[in-house]
Amino acid sequence: MKEFVHLHLHTEYSLLDGMARIKKGKKGTPLLDALKAKGMKACAITDHGNMYGVYPFVETFNSVRKKAVDKYKEQLEAEGKTKDEIKAAVKENADNLDSMKPIIGSEFYVVDNHKVFEHGETRNHLILLAKNQTGYKNLMKLSSISFIDGFYYKPRIDMQLLKEHSEGLICLSACIQGKIPQLLLNDDYEGAKKLALEFKSMFAPGDFYLELQFHGTPEQAKMPYVYRGEDKRDMPLWQRQRYINPLLKKLADEIGVKVVATNDVHYLTKEDAEVQDVMLCVNMQRKVGDPDRMRMDPHEFYLKTYDEMLLMLPEYPEALDTTVEIADKCNVTVEIRAPEGHYEIPNYVPEGDDGKPLGITAEEYLSQMSWAGLKKRYSVITKELEDRMRMELDVIIKMGFAGYYLIVWDYINWAKKHGIPIGPGRGSGVGSIVAYCVGITNVDPIRYNLLFERFLNVERISMPDFDVDICIEGRGKVIEYVSHKYHPENVTQIIAFGTMSARSSLKDVARAYDIPYADADKWSKAIPMEAGKCSFDKALGLYKNDEGKVEGASPDFIEFYETDATAHSIIDIARKLEGMPRQTSMHACGVLICPKKVVEYLPLQRKEDSITTQFDKDQVEAMGLVKMDFLGLRTLTDINLACQYAKEDYGVDIDFDKAGVDDPEVYAEIYSGDTVGIFQLESAGMCKFMQRLKPDKLEDVIAGVSLYRPGPMQFIDSYIKGKHNPESVRYVDEKLKKILDVTYGCIVYQEQVMQIAREVAGYSLGGADLLRRAMGKKKVDIMKHNKEVFINGGKPDENRAAVIPGAVKLGMKAEVANSLFDQILQFASYAFNKSHAAAYSVITYQTAYLKRYYRAQFMTAILNNRITDAKEIGKYVNYLTSVDIKVLPPDINRSKQKFATEGKAVRFGLMAIKGVGEQAVAEIVKEREQNGVYSDLEDVIRRNAGVGLNKRMVENMIKGGVFDCFGRTRSTLMSSYEQIMDIVAHDKKNSESGQLSLFDNLFGEEDEALQSFTYVNLPEYSEVEKLGYEKEVLGMYSTGHPLNSFKNALKKFGFNTSMLVAEADDDASDDVEEETVSLDENGEMRETVRYDLSLNNQRVSMGGVLTEMTKKISKKTGKNMGYGTLEDLFGTIEVVFFTDAFEKYRHLLKENSFISVTGTLSVQAEDRPKITVREVKELSADGIEEKASEPEKHGIIYLRMSPRSDVVTAVQRILARYKGDNVVRVKFRDNDVREFPQKVAITDALMFDLGMTVGQENVKVIYK
């Protein structure tokens, strides 16, 4: 078969359009496999408007050569060749070894002017391929400009840009959407010719080609086509192509360029067409059956062979041969992986305080600062400290990372000088004494026995990685500083790709096929979630772990797949879409800092207002570029604000460096059983663990946060036993005692694994770190060899010259060493990074210190740092109430913008009210502070006219009780505020035009009393309505809580909703970085809430108010069941009542009823927690009363009331809250008797609310 090269191909990075997949899963390479199967030696990537896929494309293609070289080397080694002979032979035979040429390109969108944004503009396609390194750089520049300057729905360029960056590029005229084909379709041959000549002149001779495509059947390809004057826009694609192809050939001959055949590949096989069509539906949010949607018919856009292409274009065989010519021209080397030890670190120039260069090297500057810092940090400089400092500086300088250290130091130093809180450290960098002495970190690595080699060592050639926690409010300023210092074009943020998970792809496909949502939801929820991830292979029992065991199978999902034909079909299609990139976003914390313009290394893109790379974090790091992680940590803001409030209230300057970490009162706070607000310890499980552990030093907290995670949890009991009974601890060898005594014989930290390897087997700490990393990967053959080396000595691997003496040679019995290796192998996979745990435990201690000594100020800081999150506000306000710290309601004359302490209480901040703008609140408070308190609502509105105070804000403030201080009912203010605002607006307008006030006209200037607004006083809302409004605008209850009278009863339950949320998993392993983008099942970005999965399947009891209740028919049984929302003092949880429970307790399941439930708690990674209820009881203030058999009251309620609309509306609102079967009749004061349409359940709460609204004497019940 003759050779053919595909030069127009769309991978999965033509998002939700292309499906010629470069990668599938961890190891799958579908595109490469398809090309090899067809005997093809080259291929181009030309994704729509981007270069997202260039890195994985090149990486995958390069693997072919690498495998061929490795195989050739093995062959030569078997022949007994020396290393030098092998190297020479590989070089000599390089051209003969198997390879696959990656051709780098993109399909651009071309407009008349890329800086003009007009709706409905025409965007034409154009293929550009990089011929050489200059072309690749121009390709990156064009792609970057198309996003940064030209993005309007799509990234766009224009002809002028193309002229400026055409060197080294090959241009193809593109598909039917190209400008030249469009001109030909519009019968503008001369216009097409003129444009073609312009393209020809723009590129090097022979580098512009006219592209031929045909997407019909072989029979249609042979049919003579005669144009009969029909509207070409209505022609099928193949007819349009048959019409323009001869014209393109004619044009090529006339201007002296060649034609080239392409197939606009969007998928790999003809069978994939259906899946790609479904993906288009997902993209456009259409149904497969929609008659007027976009389709790529016929199914011919697949990866064809030479013979298949010739069948499509039989008249143009030379166009197929041209593809090989173009492929031969394209010779680009994309450096996707930097040579070992080579990094593109920006040059750091040491400067004095005056900003002038000091004239010394980065190495000299770092050394000077380190030794000076050593004297500041330690009162006594021991030989141990000096040796450690020399060793670290030697390694840092030898490996070329002095500049890296200084870049990190510089922005941290700038942040501290500008009052931006920085965390004490994060990750293994906390183990560096140099970092500690210059101020990058703030945890003593010597005191806590932290290892520098865990962070950096000469035996592991890799870039150091300082992750830095920054106060959320200041993070943007620090990034801005870095951007300014190293130049904005050298600094950018990093892209992240959201992919289609198993659950989301299943729902997407089901939606495209118009499958009922309930079915799709049922199928998707049967896919198990593990650590926030899921997969079809696991759910279907097709995945096996390293031990060959099936893992993660779901019997329910397998049953759906095997017994439901529709589910089977939908799942099969969704499996092919699983893992496809769906959209781009910005990496949560990564910032790239380059020594020159970023676009010299990789292409850029725009994501809304931010500019990011087009390559992801792993790719930029592999290229040797410097990625800094600027992590926003909310707790640092909490601490900073709390210290400010303590200074304001008590005049104290809290200095944590002087305070230390040894206060017994702080540790008592930690194990008190109340850890709300304490960093890392808020979850119910961690709180109980601390109560059992009773930590009395920071080492205990460090170990605690390291142990409380899946895996090491099993050793919590051993650790606690060892702490409280140290004599029970046993060591298999005395060498282990000095390593493990701090954790009572348990291996908890990665550093301990390294120390054991050094002390027992003679590894260097650098070599021990490599052993630790190898253990984490669990490769059987490597572990077998390492075990032998650990016990009996030898070389860990062929690339390291050092010989390890081994445990036996160093005095340990072989059987003991064998057992010990197995033990540390078991621990190594989940042992935690102590450096990170130590730094975060310092933050834990600081939050506990503030809570112990400045509780109100600390909790106020927490509230203000979450002021826009109503759920969080509600949670912490309810907590304050539960510990008898009074939370005062919002008050127009007392509240500040944010929450503030008021004596021993906390006053609600005005900004926490829903819909109230920050700027307007600032002006309201400023006006009050400058001109005195407000006298009434009219005074507020008049004095703040023109500051953005709108009707919605005033209404929400009334609902939140902000104006209660004026002594009028909220219902009165609600009925008056709009009229007041209208009058004030009218007066303001007249005042500006010199006219009299409306009040002046009515009453005259002399009578001031008559000039104020006259309110019509109305009875107050019912207590339930009033609290309901507060919940609506405050996210919580302010003047009370429906459950306040049940506090004692609620304390008797072992469970409440505050126990659901787990701590953030701050696993700082340098080996694996967790996903930074979290997507919901529809592929949209969302905030992630981590629940405590250890609570799953536990039997729990809790009490609360049933705020929602819905009856449904079970699809399985056809009987009634119920779904509700139960709210306690801390939050809400879904409650499910299956048929038996629903029927037995339905008389208790009324909205706003106070109940307790007992049932099974379900806590899954990506589902909201819920309780499947088995038992329901009515809640009482004194305790719990069994009401299962109490009959519902039946009767008729009679009301006597005013017919005023506001009163009638208030009553109707109350009745709506107590749905039931009983009639309510009303007698108005004009003797008109009517019946309300709402029927109600007769309860004491209903009687109370009605009485508060119309008067108790006007409510009567006649029971049946």
CATH number of the CATH domain containing 984: 1.10.150
Taking residues 586-613, what's their average pLDDT? 93
- What is the model's pLDDT at position 551? 82
Residue 491 inside a domain? The answer is yes
Residue span of the structural domain in which 1008 resides: 863-888+890-1034
In tens, the pLDDT along 225-243 reads 666 777 777 788 999 999 9
- What does the pLDDT look like over 488-506, one tens digit per residue? 999 999 999 999 999 999 9
Task: Please give the single-letter amino acid code of residue 123.
Answer: R
Q: Cβ distance 1259 to 1199 under 8 Å?
A: yes
Question: Dihedral, CA atoms, 1205, 1209, 1215, 1216, nearest 10 degrees?
Answer: 140
Residue 638 lies in a domain: no
Q: How confident is the model at residue 1080 (pLDDT cuts 50, 70, 90)?
A: very low
pLDDT band at 994 (very low <50, low <70, confident <90, very high): low
Q: Same structural domain for residues 55 and 125?
A: yes
Tell me the C-alpha distance between 487 and 599, whole Å: 13
**pLDDT for residue 46 is more than 50:** yes
User: Is 78 or 327 the better-scoring residue by pLDDT?
Assistant: 327
pTM of this structure? 0.82
769 neighbors 752 (Cβ within 8 angstroms): no
pLDDT > 90: percent of the chain = 62
**pLDDT at site 226:** 67
Domain count for the chain: 7
Residue 769 falls within a domain, yes or no? Answer: yes
Instruction: Looking at the structure, tell me whether residues 933 and 1022 fall in a common domain.
Output: yes
1119 and 1141 part of one domain: yes
* pLDDT computed for residue 1049 by the predictor: 83
pLDDT at 19: 96
Pair 1013, 881 in one domain: yes
% helix, strand, coil for the chain, step of 5: 45, 15, 40
* 978 and 1022 co-located in one domain: yes
- Pick from 541-555, 582-596, 1088-1102: least confident: 1088-1102
Over residues 291-310, mean pLDDT? 93
Q: Residue 446, class by beta-carbon neighbours within 10 Å (0-12 exposed, 13-18 middle, 19+ buried)?
A: middle
Same domain flag for 448 and 515: no
Position 1086 scores a pLDDT of 37
The pLDDT value given to residue 902: 93
Q: Is 1096 a residue whose pLDDT tops 90?
A: no
Please indicate, yes or no, if residue 522 is contained in any of the structural domains: yes
Top mean pLDDT of 48-62, 456-470, 702-716, 1030-1044 is at 48-62
Helices (DSSP H) in 421-460: which residue ranges?
433-438
Q: At what angle do helices 634-650 and 834-853 cross, to 10 degrees?
A: 30
Q: Answer yes or no: do 71 and 107 share one domain.
A: yes
Are 599 and 618 part of one and the same domain? yes
Nearest Cα to Cα of residue 772 among 763, 781, 462? 763
Three-state secondary-structure class, residue 735: helix
C-beta of residue 404 within 8 angstroms of C-beta of residue 464: yes
1030 contact partners, CB below 8 Å, separation of at least 6: 959, 960, 961, 1036, 1037, 1038, 1039
Has residue 20 been placed in a domain? no
Q: Which long-range contacts (CB under 8 A, 24 or more apart) does 365-371 make?
A: 365/402, 365/406, 366/393, 366/396, 366/397, 366/402, 366/405, 366/406, 366/434, 366/438, 367/393, 367/397, 369/409, 369/437, 369/438, 370/434, 370/437, 370/438, 371/437
- Assigned domain for 41 exists: yes
More confident residue, 900 or 552: 900
**Angle in degrees, CA 435, 438, 442, rounded to 5:** 60
**CA-based end-to-end distance of the chain:** 93
Q: Average pLDDT for residues 264-280, to the nearest whole number?
A: 96
Domain boundary among 1138, 1163, 1185: 1185
Residue 1236 pLDDT greater than 90, yes or no: no
* Whether residue 728 is found in the same domain as residue 714: yes
User: Residue 531: what pLDDT?
Assistant: 54
Q: Is the pLDDT of residue 400 over 90?
A: yes
The mean of the pLDDT values for the chain is 88
In a domain, 794, yes or no: yes
Provide the percentage of residues in the chain whose pLDDT is more than 70.
92
Domain boundary among 1034, 1064, 1094: 1034
Residues 83-112, mean pLDDT to the nearest whole number: 88
Does one domain contain both 790 and 803? yes
What CATH number does the domain containing 1140 carry? 2.40.50.140
Which residue do the tokens 């309007």 mark? Answer: 152
Is residue 386 located within the same domain as residue 490? yes
Of 803-807, 996-1000, 1074-1078, the least confident: 1074-1078
To 10 degrees, the CA torsion angle through 1139, 1141, 1145, 1146? -20
pLDDT of res. 999: 45
Band of residue 174 on the pLDDT scale cut at 50, 70, 90: very high
* Residue 832 and residue 760 in one domain: yes
What integer pLDDT is reported at residue 791 of this predicted model?
92
Residue 131 pLDDT > 70, yes or no?
yes
Residue 38 belongs to a domain:
yes
Dump the DSSP string for 175-196.
STTBHHHHHHHTT-HHHHHHHH
Residue 803's pLDDT is 87
Rg, Å, the chain Cα set: 36
pLDDT of 68: 86
Highest mean pLDDT among 359-363, 732-736, 998-1002: 359-363
Which residue matches tokens 């965390």?
Answer: 423
975: left (phi over 0), alpha (psi -120 to 50) or beta: alpha
